[in-house]
């Protein structure tokens, strides 16, 4: 039996991070007794949006992102810094890098098209980063330092 504090923590973690248990089940054709079963992992997109416009942008961005081929391999973080006067500053992080930064307008009109073009731009930037990582090999740099 879990203690109440531990039960609350487990509850919060399962609600907040449902993708922690994101391993897909082994394929049905694989032998269950085989010592090695292939597990397919899905990418995670976290969203730290504060405003209604930010949430709407994130929903459209994630929907468009999931349609990209190979997007399940990448983990992204969407972040927002709201401003009542200028709109919200939104950026997309991949690893330790900011791959996209844009200003959301104060009005919510056109957020869907903005999110779709942002997803395309972030995807192309991440593909370029991955290409560069494969081409450049330096023993003095860690893989995320290129």
Q: Which residues fall within 8 angstroms of residue 116, CB to CB, at 6 or more apart? A: 60, 61, 64
pLDDT in 10s for each residue of the chain, 146 residues: 445 555 554 444 444 444 443 334 444 444 444 444 444 456 789 999 999 999 999 999 999 999 999 888 999 999 999 887 878 899 999 988 999 999 998 778 889 999 999 999 999 999 999 888 888 777 777 666 65
| pTM metric for this prediction | 0.66
Q: Which CATH class is domain 41-134?
A: alpha beta
Task: Give the residue among 100, 75, 68, 62 at the shortest CA–CA distance from 17.
Answer: 75
| DSSP assignment letter at 70 | T
């Amino acid at each position: 039996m879990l203690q109440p504090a531990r039960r609350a923590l487990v509850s919060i973690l399962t609600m907040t991070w449902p993708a922690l248990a994101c391993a897909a089940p082994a394929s049905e054709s694989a032998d269950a007794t085989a010592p090695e079963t292939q597990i397919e992992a899905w990418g995670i997109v976290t969203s730290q949006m504060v405003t209604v416009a930010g949430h709407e942008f994130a929903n459209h961005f994630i929907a468009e992102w999931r349609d990209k081929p190979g997007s399940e391999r990448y983990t992204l973080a969407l972040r927002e810094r709201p401003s009542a006067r200028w709109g919200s500053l939104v950026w997309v992080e991949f690893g330790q890098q900011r791959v996209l930064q844009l200003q959301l307008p104060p009005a919510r009109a056109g957020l869907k098209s903005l999110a779709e073009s942002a997803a395309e731009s972030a995807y192309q930037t991440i593909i370029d980063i991955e290409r560069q990582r494969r081409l450049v090999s330096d023993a003095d740099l860690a893989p995320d330092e290129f």
